[in-house]
Amino acid sequence: MSLRIACDLDGTVADLESALQREAERLFGSDVDVRANRRLVFAARPAVETPLEETVTVPSASAAMTKRPLTRVEQRRLWMHVCAIEDFWTTLGEIETGSIARLGALAAQHAWEVLFLTKRPATIGATPQVQTQRWLQARGFDMPAVFVVKGSRGPVADALALDAVVDDLPEHALDVATTTKARAILVWRETASRLSPRAAHVSTVVASFGEALDVLEQMTGPASRTQRLMRRVRAAMGL
């Protein structure tokens, strides 16, 4: 039985941060740094995920010496600007070059069922779903399945009986690990001291998406397939 995997996009495989930095400098000058905007709860994520998100930000130590974080007003202006760029989501780069092609090759080799999850807002042009599908296809993933999620990851993982969810946000990993039977794989590129201890405890923490793919390959062994089959049989029987 194939592995069922959900994979986040921005911050996990797609380099949204660099694109936002480029547009922020066009709007506000070279002295701003979107990386200096940190969510207070986990202290390591740019506070720019959606145009309507309210966040409390604190500057990182390195950024505070040379550049300033965006104000809330500037964050909203930035997102209004981004949403006015036609097919903005197709312009992003890969964080790890070749990672999408490798995921596509492994999915074909091991018969994985892969679903890409995102909270991307609409921009001028094609829908976020179609833009994302085009982006993935251009980087080597054939016929990608994309779902634009409005809520948390947990209900999706539970409803689809997913085996693993790959994400770069600790709160998403916590949601999956504590409310579903899926394995939460957290791609954490920051230092360990910036990670919530609880998120580190319940998640499989890796330093790159490439390492996340290694973990998924390990989960594809014969013993793992048997365990997944039994779990799905019990779930179907309500046990």
Q: 30 and 100 share a domain?
A: no
Q: What is the pTM of this model?
A: 0.82
Q: 137 and 220 share a domain?
A: yes
Q: 106 and 178 share a domain?
A: yes
Q: 57 and 160 share a domain?
A: no
Q: In what order do the strands lie in the sheet with 4-8?
A: 145-148, 113-118, 4-8, 164-167, 183-187, 204-206
Q: Running along the chain, 239 residues long, what does each successive block of 10 average in pLDDT?
A: 92 96 96 74 35 40 68 95 98 98 97 97 97 98 95 91 96 95 96 90 96 97 55 53
Structural domain that includes position 27: 16-88
Q: 70 and 104 share a domain?
A: no
Burial class (CB within 10 angstroms; exposed 0-12, middle 13-18, buried 19+) of 199: buried
Q: 132 and 190 share a domain?
A: yes
Q: 49 and 131 share a domain?
A: no
Q: 198: domain CATH number?
A: 3.40.50.1000
Q: 171 and 226 share a domain?
A: yes
Q: 62 and 94 share a domain?
A: no
**CA-wise closest residue to 15 among 104, 126, 102, 99:** 99
* Among candidate residues 66, 88, 110, the one where a domain is terminated: 88
Q: 206 and 108 share a domain?
A: yes
Q: 46 and 95 share a domain?
A: no
What domain count does the chain have? Answer: 2
Alpha-carbon gap, residue 62 to 75, rounded angstroms: 20
